[in-house]
């Protein structure tokens, strides 16, 4: 089963796709979007092209674990994704993902700005790989289970 990982943003949507065995997250391009409708349109192409059967949507919970305004907006987008494509959506706690992605880029010797999309791409890989790793252990559960 191929799984799509999403780091959802207002202007950029980072995406990663699992291998067919759902073991490894592979980075894909960062989608530049104008609005939610544009994001849905561009994600439709990825979902179809990659034969996606499940989506993992990173939810930016507050540090105390509660959903703030951004998390609520992301969850609403996830509901629209599920209704539009009929694909199961699992929400994944993405707290500190951006910090980890920045450190990863820095340690690799690459500089990144928000505009080049690399940070969103790496964030999507971190979200998806965390989910895949948890799925391979018996005690793992996404945040909405």
CATH of range 2-135; options 2.70.170.10, 3.30.420.140, 3.30.420.480, 3.30.360.10 = 3.30.420.140
Tokens (6 digits) for 21: 């065995």
Does residue 63 have a pLDDT over 80? yes
Q: Which stretches within 63-117 are classed as H helix?
A: 69-85, 97-107
Phi/psi region, residue 88 (left: phi>0; alpha: psi -120 to 50; beta: rest), is beta
pLDDT, residue 114, reads: 54
Three-state secondary structure readout of 17-44: EECCCCCCEEEEEEEECCCHHHHHHHHH
CA distances from 87 to 3, 46, 51, 103, 114 (A): 10, 13, 11, 32, 29
Parse the chain into domains and list their residue ranges.
2-135
User: Which tens digits make up the pLDDT trace of 25-60?
Assistant: 999 989 999 999 999 999 999 999 999 999 999 999
* pTM of the predicted structure, to 2 decimals: 0.84
């Amino acid at each position: 089963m191929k799984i799509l990982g999403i780091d959802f943003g207002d202007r950029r949507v980072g995406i990663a796709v699992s291998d067919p065995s759902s073991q490894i997250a592979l980075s894909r391009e960062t989608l530049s979007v104008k609005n939610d409708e544009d994001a849905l349109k561009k994600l439709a192409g990825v979902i179809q092209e990659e034969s996606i059967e499940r989506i993992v949507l990173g939810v930016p919970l507050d540090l105390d674990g509660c959903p703030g305004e951004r998390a609520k907006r992301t969850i609403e987008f996830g509901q629209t994704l599920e209704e539009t494509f009929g694909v199961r959506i699992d929400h994944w706690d993405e707290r500190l993902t951006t910090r980890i992605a920045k450190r990863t880029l820095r340690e690799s010797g690459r500089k990144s700005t928000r505009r080049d999309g690399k940070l969103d791409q790496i964030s999507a890989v971190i979200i998806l790989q965390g989910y895949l790793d948890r799925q391979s252990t018996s005690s793992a559960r996404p945040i909405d289970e």
